[in-house]
Amino acid sequence: MSKPAPVYGLIDCNSFYASCERVFRPDLAKVPIVVLSNNDGCVIARSYDAKPFVKMGEPYFQIKNKLRQQGIVAFSSNYALYGDMSERVMTLIESMVPAVEVYSIDKNKVHTMDAQG
């Protein structure tokens, strides 16, 4: 019998910064939102419903009026919040799998189990 092959999974929290903002603003659950970089320079995150209207990296000063017209809410980045929420997600994941390799604030590779090969 051969040695079991490791099985890996990738966990990617989509639209992570935008999702974090919505956790504390449930009134925005159905409202498109974007998150801006330091000093509100450009768009660094978009909710799914904002993606058709806003490109990643667009300078805020150029799209401010467009956002207002489309009803898209803009947030200044809050890295302390995103770090805290990421830590919560990591703690939850670590409680369910034997090993986690953190790729970024919102991406992880997990070793789930060994598969019979």
User: HEC string of 58-90?
Assistant: CEHHHHHHHHHHHCCEEEECCHHHHHHHHHHHH
Nearest residue to 17 via CA among 74, 60, 79, 101: 79
pLDDT of residue 1: 64
Structural domain for 54, as ranges: 5-115
CATH number at residue 48: 3.40.1170.60
From first to last of the 117 residues of the chain, give the pLDDT tens digit.
677 777 888 888 889 999 999 999 999 999 999 999 999 999 999 999 999 999 999 999 999 999 999 999 999 999 999 999 999 998 888 888 888 888 777 777 787 765 444
pLDDT of residue 105: 77
What global pTM score does this model have? 0.82
Q: Indicate the number of domains in the chain.
A: 1
